[in-house]
Amino acid sequence: MSETMNTDDAVVLAPARSAFDQDWRKIVNWGLICALALIFVSLTDMPDKLDKRVIVEPLLSMGYLSLIWIPIALGNFVTREVVLEGMAQHKKGLRELVAGVSVGAIGGAGLALLIWLLDTRDLSDPLVNWNDALLEVLSFGEGVGYGAIFWILASAGLGLAGGALHLLPAIANRLLFAISLTIVLSASLESALDDISEGFQLEWLFEALFEKKGGLSVQGAIILAVFAIAWVLFLGGQAKRGRAAVAARRELSPTKVNTVGLVLIAVAAVVLPMFLGRLTNDLLTNVGLFLLLALGLNIVVGLAGILDLGYVAFYAVGGYTAAIMTSPTSPGLSPELPWWVAIFVVVFMAIVAGLFIGAPVIRMRGDYLAIVTLGFGEIIRLTVRSDWASGFTGGAQGILSIPGADIVGIATVKGTDPQQVLYLVIGFVAIAIYVSWRLENSRIGRAWMAVREDESVAEAMGINTVNSKLQAFVVGAILASFSGAIFAAKVGSVFESSFKILVSIVILVIVIVGGMGRIAGVAAGALVLVGILGGPNQPGLLAEFSEFKLLIYGALLIWMMLKRPEGLIPNVRRSRELHQDEFLQDAWLKAQADDDDDEAVSGEAAPA
Amino acid sequence: MSERLLDIKNLSVTFGGLNALSDLDFHVDKGEIVSVIGPNGAGKTTFFNMISGMVTPTSGDIIFRGESLLGLDPNQVTARGIARTFQNVRLFANMTILENVMVSQHCRTKQGIMGALFQTGGFKREEQEIREHGEKVLGFFGSRLVGYRLNQPASVLSYANRRRLEIARAMATKPEVILLDEPVAGMNPKESEELTGLIGKLRDEWGFTIVMIEHDMGVVRDVSDRVVVLDHGETIAQGSYDEVSSNPAVIEAYLGRPAEEAS
Amino acid sequence: MTTAMRSKAAPRTGVDWFLTFLRVLLSGLVLFGLSAFLLQQIDPGNPLASAINPDANRLSWDAFQGLVISGLSQGAMYGLIALGYSMVYGVLGFINFAHGEVFMVGAMTGMITSNKLFEAGVWEDNFLLAILIAVLVSVICSTVTAVVTERIAYRPLRGSPRLIPLITSIGVSFFIQNTSAVLLGPGAKSYPRLPDWLRDDIGIGPFDIEGKKLLVLVVAGLSMGALWYLVERTKTGKAMRAVAEDKEIASLMGIDVDRTIVTTFAVGGAMAGVAGILWGILFGSVTEFTGFLPGIKAFSAAVVGGIGNLGGAMAGGLTLGSSESLAPQLVLEPLGVTGHTQLKDAVAFLVLIFVLLVKPTGLFGERLSAEERA
C-alpha cells in the first residue's frame, strides 16, 4: 500500500496548491487527535518512566521519544493522500508545511493545557499518574509557563518536520527512516550489544558507541547514522537486487531453497551462543520458546486458516506432561523418566489433546471456533489449578524440582546454564522450521491452503477438510508441547499461571506482526516482540517497558490489522489474499492487456 | 447398450417449504454428454449441489455405479469419481496454477505427514506423478496454462482462463463424471466455440461423461446427446435437443422467447 | 450462493463418532450427577448415594434458592452484555471481542463516579439520585467507547474476511484493558458501601432476595424492555433489523447503513454500561480484568440463546448464569469432585461447548442473514 505514496519521477505534477488552500476541518481533526495522543501518552506516565532509558545521551530518551514521534507522524499524515491513477497530483510545497505546523501546534496546545491542569487541579484520585513528577518531566522543572510554551513551539516544529518529509525526495525519506531506526534499535539493544561485544572482544567498539551510564553517545549516534546511510546507499540496493533475484527464481521453482543463506544461519546458530553472555543467551532462549510456539500457531492460523485462541492449552499440556513425567516430587504419578523419554509421552499427550480439543470445534464457523478454543484453553488451566486435579498437577502449588532436560544420557540441560538451554531450543526450532517447510510444500500443506482459501470448494475437490484441519491442529499442538516441555526443564517448575490466555494472544500477535504463513516473518516477530519488549511473563531488553508492553501489543495488533494485515515480512500469497480486491483488479487489467492468445476477434471477454 | 453411470430417482428438495426441485428422475449413461437447461431459478445448480453432496435431498436417491451417494460428504463423492466446476468460478486464487491442479488430486493420493517429513521415495514419486498429471490436464488447453504460468497465482488469469483452469482442476481429480456449471458463461463467441469443441474432446479423448448446465443454446445443441429441461424445480422435458426444442411446454417455459432465441 | 448444508445422517467418520461419544458422555455425566444429587437429597446415607460420594450432604432450600438468585442476577448481567454481542454479530457478522471491555469501562467509570458522589455525600443522602447519575455516566462512557472503537478499528475493515475484525477486536480488548491498568493503576478498586436496605433480604414468595440482587434483576428487566421497544417498535429498530438482514438492499431502501451500525454499537455499549454498574453494585469492586471473563461468557450466552436473537441473548444469559451457579453443587459435588466451586468458570465454557455440539444454532434459534450464516 505504501507504494502508492512514492511519487514516480515520470508523473507530471500539477503546480503546488496555495499554502492556505487547506482542508481546515481535517487539520483541526488531526490536531485534536494529536493533542489527545500526547495527553494520553503523558498520562500513561511513559515520559517519566521511560526517561531513564536514554537513546542519545544528553539529547533524547525513550520517554521523550514516546511524545515527539506523535506530532511528526500526524503532521505527516494530515497531508498524505492516496494517489490514484489519473488523478491530478500536485507538487508538494508550503501547503504541506502549513498543515504540519498547524497540527503540531494544536497538539502542543493540548499538552500545554495538560501541564496547566497538572499544576492547578488534582485529579490523582482516578488517574494514578497525575503527580508532580509528570509535571516536572513535562515542564523540564522550569515552571508551567516554560513547559507550556516549549511544547507548543516544539510540537509545532515537529509537525513542521513531519510535513516537510513530503517535500524531500524519496531517497532522503528512506535515509532518515533508516537512520532513526538504526539509532533507536541500537539503543534498545544496548544491554544485548554490551553482552555480545564482550564475547567477541569488541568492547572498544561498544565503548565508542555508548556512554558509560547508558545510551548512545553523540559520536556513537553519528557513527551509526553514517553506517545507516552507507547501508541504504550502497549495500541496500544490492541486497534488494539479490532479493529480487531470489524471488524470481522462486517463481520458477518454488520449492528450491537458498542454500547459502541456510548454511549461514546454521553456522550462526551453532557458533553464536558460545560468544554470547548469560543475559543474551537467556533472552534468546525466551525468544526461541516463543518462536517455537509461534511456528506451531503459524501452521494452524497461517497455513490452515484456523484461528485457535486456546493454543496455550498445548503449551500447558507439554509443560505439565514433562513435569509429571520427570519430576521426583510430582504428586500422584511420578515415573521419573529421563526428559528425552518423557518427550515421547509429551508428543503422545499433545496428539491426544489436539484431537480431543480439535474434534468438537473443527466443524464450527471460524469465529465460533476461536471463542470455543479460548474456552478450552481456560478449562484446561482451571482444571489444572483445581483441587480436584491437584493430585496430579499440584494445583496452585504447581510441580517443582524438575531435574532439567536429560539428552539421551549425554548431557543434562538445566536452566542454570542458559547457553545449553539455548542450544536445546535452537535444536527444536530447527525441527519446527523443517517441519513447517516440508509440510507447506506437500500434499497436506496444499490441502491446508485450499481449506484456508475456500473450504466448501476444497471439500468439493476431494479434500476431507475435517481431517486436514485436524492434522494442522495436531501438528501445531505437538510443536507447542515441545516448547512447553523445554520451558518446564528450563525453569525447573510449572505453575498454571504461566499458561494464561494472555500467552495465546501474545503468540497470535507475534504471528500476525511477523507475517502469517511465513517462517522468516514469524522469526522476526518473535525477536522484536519477545526480545525487545518481552513476553507475557518474561522481561525483554527494555525492562522499563514491562508496564506498557501489553498496551503496545494491543495497539500494534490493531495497527497491523488496519494497515498491514499481511505482517512486516509478509507471505506473498497471504498478502494477496488480504488485498484481494485491489489485486484482482490489477491482475485482470494486466491480463486483458497481455493475453495475446485470448485476444478476441469479435467482442471482448466480459468479466462477470 | 451402454453402462448406466448415474441414476437420479425421484429427487426432491425443499428449502423452508419451497420446492427447489421435485421428483427429478433421469439417468446418465457412460460416455454421454447431458445438458441440463432451464430458466434462472429452475433448480439446476441445486441439482448439482445435491449430486456433489453439498446439499442433502429431502427425498429420492442418487445412484452412482450402483451405489447410493446419499449421506456422503462432498469429498467422498469426488473420491468416487464425480468432479464439478462452479457457476461463479471458485478457484484457489492465491495458490499457483500448478498447485490448483495438484491439490485436487488429493483424494487420489495418500502420502501423509511422515512421507513429507522424511522425503521418502514414495513421497517424491507421488509428488512427481501428481505434478506430471497436473501438467497434462493443463496441457489440454494448449499453452495457456503451462510454461511460465505454472507457478503464477491463479488470480492473475483472465476470466476465460480461470474457467479453463476450473475445468482442468476438475479433470485432475480423475473423475468418471464431470459436472460443468455454465462452462462458457462470460466467454466471447470465439472462446465458447473453442470450449464447445474441447467439451467434445473431454468425452472422446479422455473418456469422461459430462453433465452440463448451460444457457447458451448453441453450445447445448452442438455437444449434447440429451437435454433435460427444468422449470420451477420440475422436469418438463427430456430427450434429444431437437425433440426438446420442439416440445411446446419447453417453448412456453424457456425457449418461447423468440427474441432471445435468435441471439 | 450455495450454502453447504450438513446432513444429520448417521455418523460416518471418526470425528462424527467421537462427537456422538462426547454428546453422550456429557449428557450422561449431567444426568448421572443430577440423579446422584436427587438421591442424596432424599437421604445422603442411602447406600447408592454414599457409593457415589460418601461425603455428600443435603443441600438446604436456603442454600439452593441463594444459588438460584445469584445465578439469575449474574446471568442477567451476562444477558445485558450478550445483547451487544448479539446485535453486532447480527449486523456485521463478527464477534466484537472488545465488548467485554466496554462493559469494564462501564464498571470502572461507575466506580469513579460513585466514589466521587460518596465523597460529596450524595451517595448516602440520596442514594437513588446518586445511582441514577452513576448509571448515566457509565452508560455515556461505555457508549462512547463502543462508538469510538467502531469508528477507529472496525469501520475501515468492513468487507474484509471475518477473522480480520475479530483479531482487531482482540487488539482493542487488550488495549482498553491495559489502558485502564496504566491510567488508573492495576488491581481491584472498590465501590462505596451500599445503603443498608440494599443489603437486607426482601421476601418475595418463597424467595428471600438480597436487595441489590433484586435491583439488578429489576434494572436488567427494564433495560431489556426498553431495548425491545427500540428494536421492535421504532424506526431506528426497523432500520437495524433491515441492515442485519441485508446491508446492500437496506442502503438501496434509503437507510444510512453506517449510521445504523453506529447506533447498533451505541445501543450495545449502553446495555454493557448498565451491566457494568450493576456488576459494581453486586460485587462491590472492579479490576481491569473484570471485562474479560464476563465478556467471553456473555458471548457464550449469546450463542447459547441463538446469536442475533435478542430475547435469546437474555435467556441465554440467565441460562448460563444459573447453570454456572448451580452446576457445581448439583452435578459436580454429587459426583465427588472436590473444590467444585473452583470449576465454576469451566462449567460456563462447558455449557457453551455442549450447546454447540447438540444445537449449534442455540436454544432459541439464531437470526442471521444468509451471508453471515455461510
Per-residue pLDDT tens digits for A542-566: 888 888 989 999 999 999 888 877 7
Question: Chains with 3 or more CB pairs closer than 8 angstroms to C?
Answer: A, B
Give pLDDT, residue B259.
46
Asked if residues B216 and B203 have their Cβ atoms less than 8 Å apart, the reply is: no
Domain range enclosing A50:
4-235
C-chain residues near B74 (CB < 8 A): 4
Beta-carbon-side half-sphere exposure of residue C324 (alpha carbons within 13 Å): 29
**Domain co-membership, A221 together with A281:** no
Asked if residues A26 and A186 have their Cβ atoms less than 8 Å apart, the reply is: no
Residue matched to cell numbers 549425554: A410
A441 to chain B: closest CA residue: B116
**Domain co-membership, A188 together with A276:** no
Per the DSSP assignment, residues forming a β-bridge with C190 are C285
Q: Is C2 on the interface with B (CB under 8 A)?
A: yes
Q: How far is A381 from chain C (nearest CA, A)?
A: 9
Average the pLDDT over each of A197-201, A593-597, B207-211 and give the range with the smallest value: A593-597
Cell numbers representing residue C295 in the block = 465478556
Cα distances from A216 to residues A53, A185, A205, A206, in angstroms, run: 10, 11, 12, 9
The tens digit of pLDDT for each residue in C141-169 reads 999 999 999 999 999 998 788 788 999 99
Radius of gyration of chain C, Cα coordinates, nearest whole angstrom: 22
C190 to chain A: closest CA residue: A126
H/E segment holding residue A412: strand A411-413
Q: Is residue C160 part of a domain?
A: yes
Give pLDDT, residue A570.
59
Q: How far is B154 from chain C (nearest CA, A)?
A: 19
**Domain co-membership, A594 together with A549:** no
Per the DSSP assignment, residues forming a β-bridge with B234 are B231
Question: Chains with 3 or more CB pairs closer than 8 angstroms to B?
Answer: A, C
pLDDT band at residue A266 under the 50/70/90 scheme: confident
Residue A538 has pLDDT above 80, yes or no: yes
Count the Cβ atoms, other than its own, within 10 Å of residue B12.
17
Mean per-residue pLDDT, B195-208: 91
B189 to chain A: closest CA residue: A602
Beta strands B177-181 and B209-213, pairing class? parallel
Q: Is residue C229 part of a domain?
A: yes
The tens digit of pLDDT for each residue in A308-336 reads 999 999 999 999 999 999 998 888 888 88
Angle at which helix A144-164 crosses helix A132-139, to 10 degrees, equals 60
A-chain residues near C342 (CB < 8 A): 382, 385-388
- The CATH number given to whatever domain includes residue A486 is 1.10.3470
pLDDT band at residue A5 under the 50/70/90 scheme: very low
Q: Is residue C361 part of a domain?
A: no
Mean per-residue pLDDT, A484-502: 92
Give pLDDT, residue A602.
34
Asked if residues A92 and C147 have their Cβ atoms less than 8 Å apart, the reply is: no
Q: How far is C89 from chain B (nearest CA, A)?
A: 23
pLDDT band at residue A594 under the 50/70/90 scheme: very low
Q: Is residue A249 part of a domain?
A: no
- Of residues C2, C7, C13, nearest to B45 (C-beta): C2
Q: How far is A253 from chain B (nearest CA, A)?
A: 7
B89 to chain C: closest CA residue: C1
Residue B247 has pLDDT above 70, yes or no: yes
**Domain co-membership, A426 together with A532:** yes
Mean per-residue pLDDT, B45-67: 89
Cell numbers representing residue A117 in the block = 491542569
Q: How far is A289 from chain C (nearest CA, A)?
A: 22
Mean per-residue pLDDT, A513-540: 86
**Per the structure, how many domains does chain C have?**
1
8-state DSSP, C40 = H
Average the pLDDT over each of A245-254, A402-411, B60-69, C187-196 and give the range with the smallest value: A245-254
pLDDT band at residue C9 under the 50/70/90 scheme: very low
What is the C-alpha separation between A312 and A599, in angstroms, rounded?
54
A497 Cβ partners below 8 Å, 6+ apart? A537
Where helices occur in C234-290 by DSSP H, the ranges are: 235-245, 247-252, 257-283
Q: What percent of chain B has pLDDT over 70?
A: 95
Asked if residues A317 and A484 have their Cβ atoms less than 8 Å apart, the reply is: yes
H/E segment holding residue B8: strand B4-15
Are A456 and B190 in contact (CB < 8 Å)? no
**Domain co-membership, A348 together with A479:** yes
Average the pLDDT over each of A401-415, B201-215, C196-210 and give the range with the smallest value: A401-415
C-chain residues near B49 (CB < 8 A): 2
Q: Is residue A449 part of a domain?
A: yes
A-chain residues near B108 (CB < 8 A): 462
Q: Is residue A243 part of a domain?
A: no
Mean per-residue pLDDT, C30-52: 81
Query: Last residue of a domain, which of A193, A219, A235?
Result: A235
Give pLDDT, residue A85.
60
**Domain co-membership, A514 together with A577:** no
Beta strands A411-413 and A405-407, pairing class? antiparallel
The tens digit of pLDDT for each residue in C246-262 reads 888 899 988 999 999 99
Q: Is residue A273 part of a domain?
A: yes
Are B90 and A607 in contact (CB < 8 Å)? no
Mutate one of B51, B73, B80 to test the C interface: name it (highest C CB count within 10 A): B73
Q: 3-class SS at A457?
A: helix
Mean per-residue pLDDT, A340-366: 92
What is the C-alpha separation between A468 and A447, in angstroms, rounded?
7
Asked if residues C288 and C177 have their Cβ atoms less than 8 Å apart, the reply is: yes
A185 Cβ partners below 8 Å, 6+ apart? none
Q: Is residue C319 part of a domain?
A: no
**Domain co-membership, A312 together with A222:** no
Q: Is C29 on the interface with A (CB under 8 A)?
A: no
C10 to chain B: closest CA residue: B71
**Domain co-membership, A405 together with A484:** yes
Average the pLDDT over each of B208-222, B239-253, C208-222 and give the range with the smallest value: B239-253
**Domain co-membership, A379 together with A506:** yes
What is the C-alpha separation between A275 and A287, in angstroms, rounded?
18
What is the C-alpha separation between B124 and B111, in angstroms, rounded?
10
Asked if residues A482 and A432 have their Cβ atoms less than 8 Å apart, the reply is: yes
Asked if residues A507 and A290 have their Cβ atoms less than 8 Å apart, the reply is: yes
A-chain residues near B185 (CB < 8 A): 608
Residue A255 has pLDDT above 80, yes or no: no
Cell numbers representing residue C247 in the block = 446491508
Asked if residues A19 and A93 have their Cβ atoms less than 8 Å apart, the reply is: yes
Residue A244 has pLDDT above 80, yes or no: no
Are C296 and A371 in contact (CB < 8 Å)? yes
What is the C-alpha separation between B234 and B24, in angstroms, rounded?
7
Q: How far is C18 from chain A (nearest CA, A)?
A: 7
Beta strands A54-56 and C285-286, pairing class? unpaired
Where helices occur in A20-93 by DSSP H, the ranges are: 24-43, 46-49, 62-77
Which phi and psi (to 5°) does residue A63 adopt?
-60, -50
Q: What percent of chain A has pLDDT over 70?
A: 86
Give pLDDT, residue C63.
86
Q: Is residue C323 part of a domain?
A: no
Where helices occur in A121-143 by DSSP H, the ranges are: 132-139
**Domain co-membership, A157 together with A207:** yes
**Domain co-membership, A180 together with A268:** no
C307 Cβ partners below 8 Å, 6+ apart? C85, C86, C89, C90, C313, C362, C366, C367, C368
Domain range enclosing C187:
62-298
pLDDT band at residue C314 under the 50/70/90 scheme: very high
Q: Is residue A259 part of a domain?
A: no
**Per the structure, how many domains does chain A have?**
3
Give pLDDT, residue A596.
41
Give pLDDT, residue A583.
53
Residue A591 has pLDDT above 60, yes or no: no
Are C346 and A561 in contact (CB < 8 Å)? no
- Of residues C2, C7, C12, nearest to B49 (C-beta): C2
Q: Is residue A465 part of a domain?
A: yes
**Domain co-membership, A57 together with A199:** yes
CA nearest neighbour of A250 among A429, A435, A441: A441
What is the C-alpha separation between A407 and A400, in angstroms, rounded?
20
pLDDT: which is higher, A1 or A278: A278
pLDDT: which is higher, A482 or A142: A482
Asked if residues C84 and C99 have their Cβ atoms less than 8 Å apart, the reply is: yes
Are B54 and C12 in contact (CB < 8 Å)? no
The tens digit of pLDDT for each residue in A413-465 reads 777 788 889 999 999 999 999 999 999 989 999 999 999 988 889 999 999 99
- Of residues A253, A434, A449, nearest to B95 (C-beta): A449
pLDDT: which is higher, A376 or A575: A376
Q: Is residue A194 part of a domain?
A: yes
Give pLDDT, residue A365.
81
Cα distances from B161 to residues A93, A535, A565, B93, in angstroms, run: 47, 48, 29, 12
Are A382 and C340 in contact (CB < 8 Å)? no
Return mean pLDDT, chain A: 84
8-state DSSP, C7 = -
H/E segment holding residue C36: helix C14-42
Q: Is residue A293 part of a domain?
A: yes
Are A307 and C167 in contact (CB < 8 Å)? yes
Q: 3-class SS at B45?
A: helix
Give pLDDT, residue A95.
87
H/E segment holding residue B172: helix B159-172
B158 to chain A: closest CA residue: A591
Residues of B with CB under 8 A from a CB of C: 45-46, 49, 54-56, 70-74
Q: Is C15 on the interface with B (CB under 8 A)?
A: no
Q: Is C161 on the interface with B (CB under 8 A)?
A: no
A385 to chain C: closest CA residue: C342
Q: How far is A509 from chain C (nearest CA, A)?
A: 9
What is the C-alpha separation between A559 and A542, in angstroms, rounded?
21
A-B contacts at Cβ under 8 angstroms: 165
Residue C51 has pLDDT above 90, yes or no: no
